[in-house]
């Protein structure tokens, strides 16, 4: 009997040993920067690994630096919001504003609400907010089954760290021993442009493409090559998207507005242009202006100078180059938005 138990224990240990080794290596090497707190730990590595879970990084940066920086101004949105520079926005705010990019890859309205509530739960008042809402965000739902998009447990409402790390561990395990035992752990490259990964300004969580921006400014032909432009297969004809603001989406937008009102936030909503030549439906624009205010919502999604010019984008996904984001932001603060009629109202 004793021998049988001993044999059972040994066989169990042997069977679980590979998993234990994987777990130990995952914890020690932390390939996705989600095991050990980030924030200050990344300050010596400004060239961060592309493809990090941006939402997780945003929250951890806040937790790491808020005690000293006392953030009160936030840029919400997806990766589309990253190229609106904090230094430019600062020029339109009080000089004491403390800015943080609080974005997430493929952000959703629910994700923005969760982040706002998270900030308030930690005693942070949102004094200023820039919310970048691309047209497709209106119909997106949180993706909790992908390592790039799953929300930080502290903002998801579930606080399920076990499920969070199980998702990342399984992604790590699927890489195979050859990759894991080697030095190439930069396994995610979604945010790489032309093989160049984003640099990052740690305390404000701002990413930028230093090398590429320099090329675009001084010799754009070296970046906007014929081959690269040819690969961007967008329709030549601009089109209006179908309207997306149904009852559920309207409730999410109203919730965001309610939180902004509670915080007495000075805010601006930007609908960015898209090189896929798709622009916001007039019904959705009217709904957003009705909820947030006509002078708060700035729709650039159908601007011809942007939707028809591939030279203004880093990639085919529609990430506008930072110099153009600066122009849009300055324009939004300078130009009074045009009032629009209810698209469902028929003139007599």
For residues 126-131, average pLDDT: 98
Q: Is the pLDDT of residue 321 over 60?
A: yes
pLDDT at 319: 87
Q: Which parts of the chain are beta strand (E)?
A: 73-77, 99-103, 128-132, 199-201, 206-208, 239-240, 266-271, 278-279, 297-299
| Confidence at 280, pLDDT banded by 50, 70, 90 | confident
pLDDT at 197: 57
Cα-based torsion angle of the residue sequence 191, 267, 332, 241 in order, rounded to the nearest 10 degrees: 60
Question: Which residue(s) pair with 285 in the sheet?
Answer: none
pLDDT at 215: 85
Tokens describing residue 214: 């320099």
Q: Is the pLDDT of residue 121 over 90?
A: yes
- C-alpha closest to that of 200 among 101, 127, 286: 101
pLDDT at 271: 93
| Digit-coded pLDDT (tens) for 259-273 | 999 999 999 999 998
Which residue did the predictor score with more confidence, 177 or 67? 67
pLDDT at 198: 66
| Percent of residues, the chain, with pLDDT higher than 90 | 37
Weakest-pLDDT range from 55-64, 174-183, 244-253? 174-183
Which residue did the predictor score with more confidence, 316 or 41? 316
Torsion angles phi and psi, residue 33, rounded to 5:
55, 45
Q: Is the pLDDT of residue 322 over 70?
A: yes
Neighbours of 202 (CB within 10 A): 19
The rounded mean pLDDT for the chain is 79
For residues 198-214, average pLDDT: 83
pLDDT at 277: 65
Weakest-pLDDT range from 124-133, 140-149, 285-294, 332-341? 332-341
Q: Is the pLDDT of residue 20 over 60?
A: yes
For residues 201-226, average pLDDT: 85
What is the DSSP track for 204-271? Answer: GTEEE-HHHHHHHHH-GGGTS-HHHHHT----SS-EEPPP---HHHHHHHHHHHHHHHHTT-EEEEEE
| Digit-coded pLDDT (tens) for 243-261 | 788 889 999 999 999 999 9
| Percent of residues, the chain, with pLDDT higher than 70 | 74
pLDDT at 102: 97
pLDDT at 346: 38
């Amino acid at each position: 009997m004793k021998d049988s138990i001993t044999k059972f224990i040994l066989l169990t240990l042997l069977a679980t040993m590979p998993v234990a080794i994987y777990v130990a290596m995952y914890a020690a090497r932390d390939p996705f920067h989600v095991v050990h707190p980030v924030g200050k730990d990344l300050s010596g590595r400004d060239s961060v690994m592309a493809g990090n879970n941006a939402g997780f990084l945003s929250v951890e940066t806040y937790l790491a630096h808020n005690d000293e920086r006392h953030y009160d101004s936030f840029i919400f949105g997806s990766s589309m919001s990253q190229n609106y520079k904090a230094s430019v926005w600062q020029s339109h705010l009080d000089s004491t504003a403390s800015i943080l990019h609080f974005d997430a890859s493929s952000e959703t309205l629910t994700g923005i609400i969760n982040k706002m509530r998270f900030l308030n739960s930690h005693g942070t008042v949102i004094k200023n907010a820039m919310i970048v809402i691309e047209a497709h965000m209106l119909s997106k739902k949180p993706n909790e089954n992908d390592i790039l998009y799953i929300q930080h447990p502290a903002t998801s409402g579930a606080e399920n760290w076990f499920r969070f790390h199980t998702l990342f561990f399984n992604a790590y395990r699927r890489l195979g021993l050859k990759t894991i035992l080697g030095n190439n752990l930069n396994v995610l490259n979604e945010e790489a442009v032309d093989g160049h990964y984003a640099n990052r300004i740690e305390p404000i969580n701002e990413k930028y493409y230093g090398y590429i921006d320099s090329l675009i400014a001084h010799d754009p032909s070296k970046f906007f090559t014929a081959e690269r432009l040819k690969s961007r297969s967008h329709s030549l004809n601009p089109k209006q998207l179908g309207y997306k603001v149904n009852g559920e989406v309207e409730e999410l937008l109203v919730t965001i507005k309610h939180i902004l009102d509670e915080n007495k936030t000075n805010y601006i909503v930007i609908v960015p242009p898209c090189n896929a030549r798709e622009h916001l439906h007039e019904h959705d624009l009217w709904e957003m202006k009705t909820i947030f205010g006509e002078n708060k919502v700035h729709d650039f999604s159908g601007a011809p100078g942007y939707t028809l010019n591939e030279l203004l984008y880093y990639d085919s996904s529609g990430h506008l180059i930072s110099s153009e984001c600066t122009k849009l932001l300055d324009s939004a603060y300078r130009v009074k938005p045009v009032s629009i009629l209810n698209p469902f109202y028929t003139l007599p």
